Amino acid sequence: MTPPAPSAARDSAALCAALDDPVELTARLCDIPSVSGDEARIADAVEAVLREISAGDRTSLEIVRNGDALIARTTLGLDERVLVAGHLDTVPIEDNLPTDRRVLDGQDVVWGRGACDMKAGVAMQLAVARALRAPARDVTWVFYDHEEVDASLNGLGRLAADHPDLLAADLAILGEPSNAGIEGGCNGTIRVEVRTTGVRAHSARAFMGENAIHAAAPILATLADYEERTVTVDGLDYRESMSAVGISGGVAGNVVPDACTVLVNHRFAPSTSGAEAEAHLRELFAGFDVTVVDLSEGARPGLDKPTAQAFADAVGAPVAPKLGWTDVARFSALGVPALNFGPGNPLFAHRADEHVPAAEVLAASSALLTFLEPAAGAPAWAQDGTEQDEDAR
C-alpha cells in the first residue's frame, strides 16, 4: 500500500481516535472539506481508517478503491450479506465549517456543513465497522463520491458499472438522513418538456399570428386538474405528484411568440416502471410534442424480504415511504432491496444551519450494530444510543 500523504495521515489519525465516539467522529468528518469534485482528501482518510480497522482485532476487510469511492467487505461466508452505503461529498460550504457543538431546542447537536447530509451517516458506518467482532451477516461498506451533482458523475453509479459483483447483497442500507428511522425505497422521477408551436407576428397585429404561450393553457389546466394517486407498495403508501416546474417562451415585448415549453416533473410510485410513467405522460398530453429530459426509476422497499424486515425489527420504529428519489434506486436496479436509514432531519440538508442531533447519531449507530451483530457486547456509545433511541426518533 502507498503510504498516505501527510495530510491524509493526520486526517486518518484524527478519525481513528474518534471511532469509539460517533458524535465526535461526525464532527471530525465534517471538518475535512469534501465538496463534490474535491473528495480525494476524505477518501484517502477513510481508506486509511478502513485499513486500520481491518488490521486490528476486529473482522478483516477486503478493500477496493475506485477513484474516490471505496468498497470494504467482510468475506466470512455467512448466509446473508448486508450492504451499507454513504456518500462522502457535500454541497458547497456556507460559512458553516469548522463544525460547532451547540444546543438547539434542548438537543445537543453537531452544527456544520455535511453534519446531516451525510457525514453523520458515514460516522455511523465507520463506528459500527470498528465495533464489529463476529457479525451475524457479512457486511459490505461502500463510501462514494459525487452524489450531490449530475447523476452521470455519481460514484455509486460508477461502482455499479465497474464492480456490480461487489455490490451484491440481500439488503442495501443507504445512510441518507431519515431521523434515525427507516424510509423504504423511493418514488421514481421523470421530467418532460411539453411544447407548443405557433406563428410569430407583431403584437399590434396579433390576429396575424398564433400565440404559442396561449396554446399552453390546456397543458396547465391538465396539471391543475390532475388527481394525484397514493399507491401502496410492500405495505407503504407512496403519494405521487405531477407539477409544472418551469415554463419558457417569448421573443420580445412586441412579438407574438411561436414557441412555448412547459417543464413537467412527475414523481411516480416504485411499483410503476419508468416506461409506464412515460406512457402515462404521453397519454395525458396527447397532441403535444413531449420530450423526456430526465428519468430515474423508483425503488421498492423490499419489506417482503426477510432481511429487510429483520432490519426494521432491529430499528424498532414504523417504516415510512421515501417520496423523494435517492440512490437506493441504484441498488434496486441491481435486484437488491434497499432502505434509507441514517441520522439527521433531511429538511436541514443543504441549509446554512445544517446540523444533526447527537442522540440520533448514537441511536442509528446502535440500531445498525444490533442488527449486524445481535450478540455483540455493546460499546459505551451503543448503550447510550439505546437509552436515547426512542427520543431520537
Bridge-based pairing of strands 320-321 and 182-184 is parallel
The residues near 334 (Cβ < 8 Å, ≥ 6 apart) are 160, 164, 167, 168
Cell of 196: 407548443
Whether residue 89 lies in the annotated active site: yes
The residues near 17 (Cβ < 8 Å, ≥ 6 apart) are none
For the chain, the maximum distance between any two Cα atoms, rounded to a whole number of angstroms, is 84
Q: Is the Cβ–Cβ distance between 261 and 194 less than 8 Å?
A: yes
Rounded CA gap, 369 and 311, in Å?
11
Rounded CA gap, 338 and 341, in Å?
10
Question: Measured at the alpha carbon of residue 186, what is the angle toward residues 195 and 152, in degrees to the nearest 5?
Answer: 60
> CA nearest 168: which of 373, 339, 337?
337
**Of these residues, 24, 138, 147, 234, which one is catalytic?**
147
The residues near 286 (Cβ < 8 Å, ≥ 6 apart) are none
**Of these residues, 21, 39, 47, 89, which one is catalytic?**
89
Residue 67 DSSP one-character state: T
Distance in Å from the first CA to the final CA of the chain: 41
Crossing angle (nearest 10°) for helices 358-372 and 306-315: 140
Q: Is the Cβ–Cβ distance between 26 and 119 less than 8 Å?
A: yes
Catalytic residues: 89, 147
